[in-house]
Amino acid sequence: MSGQSEAPLLEIRALRKSFGTTEVLKGIDLSVVRGELVFVIGPSGSGKSTLLRCCNRLEEPSAGEIWFEGSNILAPSTDLNAMRRRIGMVFQSFNLYPHLNARDNVALALIHVLKRPRDEAHAQAIEALRKVGLAERGDAKPGELSGGQQQRVAIARALALEPAIVLFDEPTSALDPELVGSVLAVLRELRTAGMTMMVVSHEMGFARGAADRVVFMESGAILDQGPPDRIFGPNAPARIRDFVASVEHR
Amino acid sequence: MAGLVETFFNVEVMAQYAPKIIEGMGITVVLAAVVVVSGLVLGFVLAVLRALRFKVLNALIVLFADVFRAVPPLVILIVIYFALPTVGIKFSGFVSAWIGLSLVLAAFAEEVVWAGILSVPRGQWEAARATGLSFSQGMRWVILPQALRLTVAPLTSRAIVITKNTALASVVAVGEILYQAQAGYSFSYNPSPLTLGAIAYLILFIPLVWLGRWVETRFAWKR
């Protein structure tokens, strides 16, 4: 892992979020340094996805600060669209645009957000698809692709904008088991390439091998965090051991 | 039988009034065209504005759509043409019909397009916004292409309905088909001009009905 000593790329401070009277995030402090792969695990309803979605303000936090590239993105003066092109996001249900082919799914933001000329955007889109092993499927509509391929297109869509960090919200949960591997392989390659990532997932085996740090959340708070060896090891808190055991023996 | 032909298909009367009916066809076509264009554009704009979710604006749009879908189009035309002049707002019969029918079509179109926008899954918005697209860019490139595909068929059928309603303009003295046919009927004491009018409507609108059917099959979602 690189640069533990440098300032964090993303720093979440005392983050709170309520839906109505239900508080789903109860004061989260978490930082991610450049090049780090942070894995967030925990039971459903623990606030993992909400935490992730607060990081690009798809959800509006109720209180707290999120520092990214030197500014608090929760400040009113934040340029939302400029911030979002620096923070990529991959969704559980892919959310590809069904009316556009794979290449245009990737190229859309390049053309309209980064204002790249169409030809250049298309070339970059194909390049991004190449990184996820789908350069040949640029003409395919999402409906013609398998779930695993769709998710890889979605990853290419996020990567094409050259974000500083990519947030993954349960990227393999909607996939058939035999398709999970292809998506995890892409994540592994991204890690090797030095991409900073925050991943909410139940793929414990992958977390063990690839994560730099594992964060365990429960009831809107971080119960513990540390290197996978410790979080998945025999000396982890009983609550975490129980949770990991229950997920792995599903 | 001969009497029936004499009454409804009187060749002499028909020949006499055919030019008037043809003139009426021209006016019907022009009125229908301007109503469809302005009604659809206004309905479309209102639906997109509604997606901004400004509370007061939305309440006004909903009120507009409900009122103009509830009140019979004929009543609306009469209010515009006969009642508004009493407060100093005066439109010709043609403009009254244009405004009135456009507002009715806009009310229906707004509801149809809005339903289309709502039918696009929330994740599409999130994906668009998460890649840095603005509201209007997301609307233009992600939401509307999906929403409009669903609305083409209902909008076409609405447009056909409003096109037929141009006959109501005869009440506010617009010289369209029905107006000319009725005038011919009262001058000649023979209903053959009405027959001609019905034929004129068939010539104009049967192709539209066919178009509507084609559109419905063409734009059905293949799932």
Say if A176 falls within a structural domain.
yes
Dihedral sign of CA atoms B149, B150, B152, B155 in order:
negative
Contacts B146 to A, Cβ<8 Å: 97-99
Is 60 exceeded by the pLDDT of residue B125?
Answer: yes
Instruction: Give contacts of A 133-162 with B, CB under 8 A.
Output: 154, 157-158, 161
Strand partners, B45: none
Asked if A161 lies within 8 A of B146 by C-beta distance, the reply is no
Q: Could you please state the CATH topology (level 3) that the domain comprising B2-218 is classified under.
A: MetI-like fold (1.10.3720)
Distance CA B139, CA B12 (A): 58
**According to the model, what pLDDT value does residue B6 have?**
82
The residue length of chain B stands at 223
pLDDT mean over A51-64: 95
Tens digit of pLDDT for each residue in A200-209?
999 998 999 8
Candidate from A80-84, B1-5, B63-67, B140-144 with smallest mean pLDDT? B1-5
CA A85 to chain centre: 14
- Mean pLDDT score across all residues of chain B: 92
Is 60 exceeded by the pLDDT of residue A5?
Answer: no
Asked if B131 lies within 8 A of A98 by C-beta distance, the reply is no
Is 90 exceeded by the pLDDT of residue B215?
Answer: no
Is 70 exceeded by the pLDDT of residue A250?
Answer: no
**According to the model, what pLDDT value does residue B221 have?**
55
pLDDT mean over A59-73: 93
Is 70 exceeded by the pLDDT of residue B223?
Answer: no
What residue ranges do the domains of chain B occupy?
A: 2-218
Contacts A58 to B, Cβ<8 Å: 126, 129-130
Tens digit of pLDDT for each residue in B127-145?
999 999 999 999 999 999 9
Q: Which residue has the tokens 């004929």?
A: B74
Is 80 exceeded by the pLDDT of residue B35?
Answer: yes
Which among B127, B132, B145 is the nearest to A113, CB-wise?
A: B132
> Chain A residue with minimal CA distance to B136?
A112
Contacts A80 to B, Cβ<8 Å: 129
Distance CA A227, CA A212 (A): 6
Distance CA B145, CA B86 (A): 45
Contacts A98 to B, Cβ<8 Å: 146
State the residue range of the domain holding A236: 10-248
CATH number at residue A107: 3.40.50.300
Cβ-contact A156, A186 below 8 angstroms: no
Contacts B123 to A, Cβ<8 Å: 91, 93, 95
Distance CA B46, CA B59 (A): 12
Asked if B141 lies within 8 A of A88 by C-beta distance, the reply is no
**According to the model, what pLDDT value does residue B12 have?**
86
Enter the pTM of the model.
Answer: 0.86
**According to the model, what pLDDT value does residue A3 have?**
45
Structural domain count, chain A? 1
Which among B121, B124, B132 is the nearest to A84, CB-wise?
A: B132
| Type and span of the H or E element at A8 | none
Say if A175 falls within a structural domain.
yes
Say if A3 falls within a structural domain.
no
Which among A58, A89, A98 is the nearest to B146, CB-wise?
A: A98
Distance CA B6, CA B12 (A): 10
* ipTM confidence: 0.91
Comparing B99 with A7, the larger pLDDT belongs to B99
Asked if B132 lies within 8 A of A81 by C-beta distance, the reply is yes
B222 dihedral zone (left: phi>0; alpha: psi -120 to 50; beta): beta
Say if A180 falls within a structural domain.
yes
* A31 burial type by CB count under 10 A (0-12 exposed, 13-18 middle, 19+ buried): middle
**According to the model, what pLDDT value does residue A70 have?**
85
Say if A99 falls within a structural domain.
yes
